[in-house]
């Protein structure tokens, strides 16, 4: 595995020899870890079934769980999916950015059936992070990329997280430093009459509803493992090795503490380890630090990570979604 450091405050990296080497690797069906504004992605050519199979294999991911395809711009997305008025409005408002749209897949799309898990819909995203857009543009194909972690584990927001989890499976890791948003994209389903929030994420529900002028439906509730109309909603996910205790009222000396805001829980000073997501109770900051905090506390060796209450508005909805899945029975 080759690690390529890029300084995202410049565009110098776009002309570096590594840029061409990474594209050659992608064209050869190899896997590359790429930073986005949300989390690091495990990227491969979405039109190459064998390459997509490599993603599932490296992650240990069930093959019924489809992948997001990343493209440089809305025009590219429209080659693969049908965009109605609501999809267009959201794309225009939030792309590039942490929003994924699930739309009907066009018959002429070159995206492999393995990437879409045989569904007649496709998940498309134009990320804000420039590396994924640049590589997709330069390689001339959409890039399928799930979060670059082993299936069910904590998503990576730093290059070293990816190396620890999946380094063995990669040709390259593009190291762009810590991800700014830190939590995955919001996924909106636009395949029914009404828009659905399939996964809360980096763009708050309130912002999306403001653009659409309607409230979002929830994900379909009757979920069978073999009928993945919204397969991302697997109950157990983002799981650390430690147990998670949500809405803790007090800290304990044998447990780690994931705190939030200026008010410290009783006993916090005696916790085995503590990580405050945002001392000023800023939900955006908390989202950006969530996965790194979970990883750090997990490494403390605590049996349990106790989590202080975090409000559910704005990005708090996505934060609480990830915490609930991390706490779910495995």
Q: Which residues sit at the interface with ligand TXA, rule CB under 6 A?
A: 36, 38-39, 41, 65-68, 98, 100, 102, 116, 119, 121-123, 125, 127, 145-147, 184-185, 187, 198, 230-232
Partner touching 123 among Mg ion, ligand TXA, none, CB below 5 to 8 Å by kind: ligand TXA
- The backbone region for 62, taken as left when phi is positive above 0, alpha when psi lies in -120 to 50, beta otherwise, is beta
The DSSP string of 151-197 is TTSPPP-SHHHHHHHHGGG-SEEEE--S-SS-SPPEEEE-SSSS-EE
Taking CB under 5 A as the binding criterion, the range among 131-139, 141-149, 271-279, 321-329 that sits at the site for Mg ion is: 141-149
Which residue's CB atom is positioned nearest to ligand TXA? 232
Task: Give me 204's structure tokens.
Answer: 């708050």
Cβ-based nearer residue to Mg ion, 147 or 278: 147
Element (H, E) at 2: strand 2-5
The least distance separating ligand TXA from the CB of residue 288, rounded to whole angstroms, comes to: 13
Cβ-based nearer residue to ligand TXA, 146 or 195: 146
Using CB under 5 A as the binding rule, whether residue 100 contacts Mg ion is answered as no
Taking CB under 5 A as the binding criterion, the range among 7-15, 146-154, 250-258, 299-307 that sits at the site for Mg ion is: 146-154
Cβ-based nearer residue to ligand TXA, 189 or 293: 189
DSSP character at residue 124? E
Using CB under 5 A as the binding rule, whether residue 147 contacts Mg ion is answered as yes
Q: What angle do CA 26, 32, 37 make, to 5 degrees?
A: 115
Of 122, 125, 163, 202, the C-alpha closest to 40 is: 163
The least distance separating Mg ion from the CB of residue 316, rounded to whole angstroms, comes to: 20
Distances (CA, A) of 192 to 103, 220, 232: 9, 11, 17
The least distance separating Mg ion from the CB of residue 280, rounded to whole angstroms, comes to: 28
């Amino acid at each position: 595995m080759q690690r390529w450091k890029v300084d995202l405050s410049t565009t110098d990296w776009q002309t570096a020899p590594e840029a061409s080497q990474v594209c050659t690797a992608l064209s050869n069906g190899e896997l590359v870890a790429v930073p986005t504004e949300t989390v690091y992605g495990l990227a491969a050519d979405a039109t190459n079934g064998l390459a997509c199979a490599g993603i599932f294999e490296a992650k240990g991911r069930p093959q019924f769980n489809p992948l997001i395809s990343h493209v440089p711009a809305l025009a590219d997305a429209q080659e693969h999916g049908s965009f109605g008025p609501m999809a267009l409005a959201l794309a225009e408002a939030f792309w590039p950015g942490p929003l994924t749209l699930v739309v009907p897949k066009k018959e002429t799309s070159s995206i492999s059936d393995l990437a879409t898990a045989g569904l007649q819909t496709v998940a498309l995203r134009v990320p804000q992070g420039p590396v994924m857009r640049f590589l997709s543009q330069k390689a001339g194909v959409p890039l399928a990329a799930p979060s670059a972690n082993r299936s069910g584990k904590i998503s990576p927001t730093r290059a070293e997280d990816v190396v620890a989890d999946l380094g063995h499976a990669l040709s390259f890791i593009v190291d762009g430093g810590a991800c700014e948003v830190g939590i995955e994209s919001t996924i909106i389903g636009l395949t029914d009459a009404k828009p659905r929030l399939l996964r809360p994420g980096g763009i708050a529900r309130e912002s999306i509803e403001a653009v659409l002028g309607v409230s979002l439906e929830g994900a379909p509730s009757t979920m069978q493992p073999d009928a993945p109309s919204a397969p991302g909603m697997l109950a157990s996910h983002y799981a650390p090795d430690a147990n998670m205790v949500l809405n803790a009222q007090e800290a304990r000396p044998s447990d780690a503490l994931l705190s939030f805001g200026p008010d410290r829980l009783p006993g916090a000073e005696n916790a085995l380890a503590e990580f405050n997501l945002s001392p000023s109770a800023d939900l955006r900051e908390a989202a950006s630090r969530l996965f790194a905090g979970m990883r750090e506390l997990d490494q403390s060796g605590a049996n349990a990570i106790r989590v202080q209450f975090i409000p559910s508005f704005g990005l708090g909805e996505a934060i609480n979604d990830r915490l609930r899945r991390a706490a779910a029975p495995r």
